Structure 1
């Protein structure tokens, strides 16, 4: 055996971790998070099952029936007060990012965001998705929306910790017996947490940054923090009172209950379980189980979930439906709110579909009231009841999949939802005369019918692979159904004969068969989703397609759209043929270059057509270098925007080399004239005659920079491509020393260049001279602006609280000169005093934007070798 050399350096534990488990955790973060969520559900489900060992299902039903109406009305009123307080989180967040919006728009957005977030509580259906869709429509940029979401999340977390600790200090002796800790130690923990929060509050009183280990935070100033603490206190006090008034009187004092409630909310948030389902209930039962009957606590918790979580969702949908009514839509005061409503209505209906799916599954594993069974036995045969019970549970499972389609505004999802809801409504009456269940389904059907115009995207509903969050949601529903099944029938001893018992009174066998159907169906869906379709090759556009695309390019305003003339990209046309997307494929990324080219009204359908086609081929859809104009459309498709840099535009109508700020450029122009530089624009028909000279300049430029031709978002030296548009040239002593091909359109709204190459022996300052002369030429031709191109990573937020993408991009911009001259490029373009416009990469979340950017880089550079060789 060979032993290591004594001189070999030792690898410390941290390096081994970095090479071992840390990269593994980073690569599999989402999968591990999903497994962790299911594990948490299982653990807390077992805890609830143990804590309710002496409780019977009938006792919980009786406790629900005995709840006083005055308590329910009070709970509804406090729910309204809590949601009113919640709207001020967004008010403060928008004030923090220095944006002003009408309170009505903020209140509608915030209320819907919390209604969805509280009920669904996982990524695709969350408050963040609601805010992105709404605030992007109201003019906020993605960075601002990300800061709003981060502010709201941090404000709630800090406020929750502070309120809980203050409550414990006041009523520690009442809470201690419920938690198993001594009052002294409980208060000491609260004091330590409050001390940390107070220290942070003092250090950041003027909005300064504080550092905790490797993390740097810029906390709000004292005024903002104090206001947020009061908002959080009001929110928690109101929401806690919702549950408190539903509990039997005398169970616990309100101050002590506030501490217990805050603790339960906090643990539910930390667990990352959707809506804290099961986790919140476990904490409440564990702490209050000694002070009141567990059956009454469970009954209060069921009502709390219905009143505080489901009722606001229903009200939000009613409000959105009201905005769809023609009489209200024409009212001036409701115009902006209706515009927002059109953006968020699909998410609200998708969340309701998820709630109904849970309802259908859980109702299949709970017994039917005996009086309802007696009524059914007189009019309906047993096979119909058995079949209705089993099919309703499967419809609930299918409705989870359809909910995803509703969130994406698919027309197929709308039709499927209508069919499922109508069938489930009929089955709910056949299986148990479940009037409340039928009423909820009828409400859902009405909401779908009124919102029909919002679901216009044609797509294959079942041809798509479900994402991990949706598969996790299905797993949570199945685990929840299993826990409920065990709880309801815990007194019935299991035997194989149960599966074959078919009687009106045989509720347990009926529930077992329904659960088996749900489990088998969920497993089949998961396996189908994990078996991704194979990717297909993407071919460049045909000659006929290029001619159609060029005809569209010539009659619109974006000069960069002329890059389609290279012929190296594929083209996808809109259904009416008035717009197109040019794109390429690298690995599993379909990368669209720029926004769609053509009328804006064609963009939404074309964007969705591209996304669905990419997904149908097993790939991710990516949009590269898109403008703020289309962000709302990408958000509607469930994509997120990540800032790439800034585009420099010069207003040619005001361009002139007068004034002190233009002194340096005037000097460069004068120097170029002294050096004998001559500027000329060669029309397309004459370009062929100078191609040999242009090729010599291009080859010399490539050799001097040790570079190779690029592609996709940049043109290459191709004779056919150069001969299609004018070329600007610089001559010195009768010899061409520099050139640039000019990109123009018939509208003369914008001009730009693509290739710009010069000989190594060209006089110094030739680039400045060429740009100035070209802009003056385009100005005389009637062009209104000049596109200088994008400065990568420019304009990315430098704030410490900025998203990780922004912080990484800023670090590259500041320290990445070894790989690319980021600062130098921006400094060069800044000479012309342009107006900077943000540009984005748009993709789905998780690792997709990073992978998409890598694929786009390789696509532009011609593979890994091309990127390394510049």
Structure 2
């Protein structure tokens, strides 16, 4: 049992998220068994034009409210920002983080990249990030408390069993958290959380923060609500309760945009009021408004920002030179992954007239090609995030193949054009992919597995939905053997299950990175290469070739490497990445102290931010600044906030 505890700590959240995803597809299949694409298309066509325009306007309002998060956060940090910068930081941070799902493209990382370029110190950026992260939670609690007071029966199962006054009492702890936060800001200036001193905002700002967050959640829910048909009994307050519960389920699952889990929960919550076709039609438009369109707009904004920061020197991009925190590669990896998801979805959909001009066998092959190309692109996105040279070349070929696939299926020009645009942008970034490691040798992280699983399961759900009329009595695990299942559906479901099993096996396999003990022999080897020799250390980590290494120590959840890896430059890059993987496999976060400028780009690629080292002028501390900055304050001293 003791041996299982570390495994549960590292992978418990991921496994729970996968369980929610599998449960979601079961719900989707049950609810959609008698539903067809024609039903959904009809439901979408029946959404009034006024509702569509109102939903679009509410989407703009929702992102303006989110911009106010950053505007207030900058004032809380003592460095007021203009509305323009607040809007860019908030819009890019939320839109990219909601859709892409890569840890490196989190809202905190995007904000850190933007605010650091605007001259904010790490301490100021940390305050902005903390302020914006807390704000949404306050709104959810405040609005959730209002729902329980006004519509307590909205709670599933409990609403039909317990008296309303008991359910209304559940609002007290929700309101209590918000009220306690405001009162603390009135009577105390700081609080200590896990040993870290956190400065509270003023009382007026805390009240404004809570009200702003409540408005944000209400406006976002209103986007969805106005797209639904008018039905008796579904008041806006009641819908907000259903929306909050569904959104919370998506957050718990930790998949981008709550894909699959949020959708299944909202279908269940609205089932007593309307048919699945109406819910799915409104859901698709909601995702288009709130997720897809903002993603492309924010992607263009962020790409423009990155180009402006490089001053037109993109062609001379040096993978080992810049110390800035680069996010263009993770963002590009996310776009490639989205391309893979699109191909998986297209491969799940039949084309009615394609066999009339290419033949039945070729039409079936096109179904297989979409699933295969999509799965391979998802794998290449993982390789791009790891800066692998092989993944760069393979992704270019697969993107071009995806464009050809979409063109042969007679998809809209913007569909295959998007693949070509992503390929053209990726082609300009060749120097950013400098690792020659094998793709299979790279460890699969939890953050990569969940988006992959979400896309695979959603693709399988779409394939089941398209063929629902043929498989009304078959559950999803029976599809591969069902007599009435089309061959392409069997392939889609079987390959998806295989993909998920391989992913789980790779995630749970034992770590193969074994550090050496910090003994006399290892000290002598490091000394010969000119490495840093601390008085005490917990081990020495060498690169894949054993030609470069460094000593490191464990400080709780942060493992600290001493100096740059000494030895061969290429193997030093390998050692830095291996240290990142070693820390991840052990539930820790990597950091380096007293490093030089030579490998700042590599540290940044692994998700670390370089800060001036106060104990060694001209040297740097590389850490997860948005998460570990306060933890490393004892080492960094005043320079971390300077």
Which band: TM-score by shorter chain?
Answer: 0.7 to 0.9
* 1:79 and 2:53 aligned: no
2:550 aligns with: 583
Match of 2:594 in 1: 626
Which residue of 2 is the match for residue 492 of structure 1?
A: 470
Give the superposition deviation at 1:618.
Answer: 12
1:352 and 2:329 aligned? no
Distance 1:407 1:82, change over 3 A: farther
Partner of 1:419: 397
Distance 2:486 2:404 in 1: 22
Which deviations, in whole Å up to 9, do the C-alpha atoms of 1:451-504 show, x marking residues without a partner? 5367343443614222232233333333333444444434324899997999xx
CA distance in structure 2 between the partners assigned to 1:607 and 1:134 by the alignment: 29
Whole-Å separation in 2 of the counterparts to 1:255 and 1:542 = 69
Counterpart for residue 271 of structure 2: 289
Q: What TM-score do the two structures reach when normalised by structure 1? A: 0.58
Residues 243, 442 of structure 1: alpha-carbon distance in 2 compared, 3 angstrom cutoff: farther
Correspondence 1:452 to 2:421: no
Question: Given that residues 596 and 607 in structure 1 are in contact (C-alpha distance below 8 angstroms), is that contact kept between their aligned partners in structure 2?
Answer: yes
Deviations 1:568-622 (A, max 9, x none): 99999xxxxxxx98635899x9986325899xxxx9x997454357689999996
Distance 1:64 1:617, change over 3 A: same
1:46 lines up with 2:26 in the alignment:
yes
1:235 has 2:216 as partner: yes
Query: For 2:456 and 2:201, how far apart are their aligned partners in 1?
Result: 42
CA deviations over 1:544-579 (Å, ceiling 9, x no partner)? x999x88xxxxxxxxx9899xxxx99999xxxxxxx
Rounded Cα–Cα distance in structure 1 between residues aligned with 2:197 and 2:527 = 51
Structure with the largest fraction of strand: 1
Aligned counterpart in structure 2 of residue 32 of structure 1, from 9, 12, 16: 12
Deviation of the 1:314 alpha carbon: 0.8
Q: 1:116 aligns with which of 89, 93, 96?
A: 96
The 8 Å contact of residues 330 and 384 in structure 2, kept in 1 or not, is answered as: yes
The yes-or-no answer on 1:383 pairing with 2:361 is yes
Structure 2, gaps ≥5 residues long: 313-321
Unmatched runs of 5 consecutive residues or more in structure 1 = 1-19, 331-338, 551-559, 573-579, 650-748, 751-786, 791-796, 814-825, 827-833, 840-870
Q: Taking structure 1 as reference, are residues 521 and 345 closer, same or farther at Cα in structure 2, changes over 3 Å only?
A: same
- Residue 190 of structure 1 corresponds to 171
Change (3 A) 1:40 1:618: closer
Q: 1:447 to 1:237 in 2, by over 3 A?
A: farther
More helix by share: 2
Which TM-score applies when normalising by structure 2?
Answer: 0.76
Matching of residue 223 in structure 1 with residue 190 in structure 2 = no
* Deviation of 1:299 (Å): 1.2
Alignment of 1:196-345 (within 5 A): 196-208=177-189, 219-249=200-230, 252-323=234-305, 343-345=326-328
| Deviation sequence 1:600-650 (CA, Å, 0-9, x none) | xxx9x997454357689999996632369799746631334699x97447x
CA gap 1:646/1:317 in 2 versus in 1, 3 angstroms: closer
- Aligned-residue RMSD, C-alpha: 5.2
Contact 2:549 2:572 in 1 (8 A): no
Structure 1 counterpart SS, 2:274: coil
Question: What is the number of residues matched between the two proteins?
Answer: 606
Q: 1:241 offset after TM fit, Å?
A: 2.5
Cα distance, 1:226 vs structure 2: 1.5
Match of 2:315 in 1: none
Distance (whole Å) between structure 1 residues aligned to residue 503 and residue 156 of structure 2: 46
Q: Distance in 2 between matches of 1:594 and 1:213?
A: 28
- In the other structure, the counterpart of 2:317 is none
For 1:100-145, what per-residue CA distance to the aligned partner results, in whole angstroms no more than 9, with x for missing partners? Answer: 5565444323222211221234634422332344445555565655
**In 2 relative to 1, CA 836–596 (structure 1 residues): closer, same or farther, beyond 3 Å?**
farther
Distance 1:236 1:521, change over 3 A: closer
Residue 349 of structure 1: how far off its partner (Å): 2.4
SS of alignment partner, residue 220 of structure 1: coil
Give the drift of 1:311.
1.4
Q: 1:401 aligns with which of 379, 383, 387?
A: 379
Find the counterpart in structure 2 of residue 611 from structure 1. Answer: 576
Secondary structure in structure 1 of the residue aligned to 2:562: strand
Shift of 1:393: 0.8
SS at match of 1:460: coil
Show the counterpart of 1:593. Answer: 562
Q: Which residue of 1 aligns with 2:68?
A: 88
Query: Structure 2 CA distance, aligned partners of 1:410 and 1:327?
Result: 24
8 A Cα contact 2:323 2:601, kept in partner? no
Q: Report the Cα distance in structure 2 between the residues aligned to 1:216 and 1:241, rounded to whole angstroms.
A: 37
> Secondary structure of the residue that 1:373 maps to in structure 2?
coil
Per chain length, whose mean CA-contact separation is higher, i.e. which structure has more relative contact order (CA < 8 Å, sep 6+)?
2
**Conserved? CA contact 2:479–2:485, under 8 Å:** no
Indicate conservation of the 8 Å contact 2:552/2:562, yes or no: no
Q: Residue 38 of structure 1: CA displacement?
A: 0.7
Matches within 5 A, 1:590-739: 593-595=562-564, 608=573, 610-612=575-577, 624-626=592-594, 633=601, 636-640=604-608, 647-648=614-615
Residue 139 of structure 2 aligns with which residue? 159
CA contact (8 A) 2:95 2:291 kept: yes
Cα separation, 2, equivalents of 1:311 and 1:340: 32
Counterparts of 1:454 and 1:106 in 2: how far apart (Å)? 32
Distance 1:417 1:242, change over 3 A: farther
Closer/same/farther in 2, CA of residues 452 and 514 from structure 1, 3 Å limit = same
